[in-house]
Amino acid sequence: MAKRSREPNPCPVSILTNLLSGPWTLYILWVLSNLGPQRFGALKRQIDGISTKMLTERLRMLEQEEILYRHYEPTVPPQVTYGLTEKAKELVVILDQLNGLAQRWYGQERQTTCYPQAQNSSFTQQFSVVKNQDRKELTAEWALHSSGATTKR
């Protein structure tokens, strides 16, 4: 959880940077902004190296801050889906700007870019390494836009 100051008027920038600077937080938001709502297991598979405990902690914190929503389906086994709230969609604009900055600063020297990608209807994520191409030129058969709409490429 983001640690909030006990002061009556803590600095809003400090609150937000503390919230977003936690381990994996921005990356979780980046994946969800590119792939749309994901079930817990699929999200864990898409974020290579994250532990179940860490993913659970980050998702709970983001849900508490109303950045993510959690949709529970009482099926057997239960299905839990996480997605971005309207509040989070404001962050997506900033994440896209950070991506542009990262590409300008580091993309040219490494000649590669990485994007989470939907893979057909299962929406399992993989990273595509694309040389000297922008996001619109990715060759994925299906891509899930931040808005949640799918388009065939």
- Residue spans of the domains in the chain: they are 13-107
Report the helix count and the strand count for the chain, using DSSP H and E: 6, 7
Cα atoms in the 13 Å half-sphere on the side-chain side of 29: 30
> Which residues make Cβ contacts (< 8 Å) with residue 72, sequence separation at least 6?
78, 79, 80
Give the mean pLDDT of 7-32. 89
CATH of domain 13-107: 1.10.10.10
Handedness of CA 9, 13, 14, 16 (dihedral sign): positive
Q: Report whether 128 contacts 140 (CB < 8 A).
A: yes
Q: Report whether 150 contacts 124 (CB < 8 A).
A: no
Handedness of CA 152, 82, 55, 30 (dihedral sign): positive
Give the mean pLDDT of 32-51. 96
Structure tokens at 150: 């799918």
Residue predicted with more confidence, 51 or 5: 51
The answer, yes or no, to whether residue 108 has pLDDT greater than 80, is: no
pLDDT confidence of residue 107: 81
Question: What order of strands is seen across the sheet that includes strand 38-39?
Answer: 38-39, 79-84, 68-73
pLDDT in tens, 60-106: 999 999 999 999 999 999 999 999 999 999 999 998 998 889 888 98
Residue labelled with tokens 């993309």? 107
Q: Tell which residue, 44, 93, 40, has the closest CA to residue 70.
A: 40
pLDDT in tens, 47-66: 999 999 999 999 999 999 99
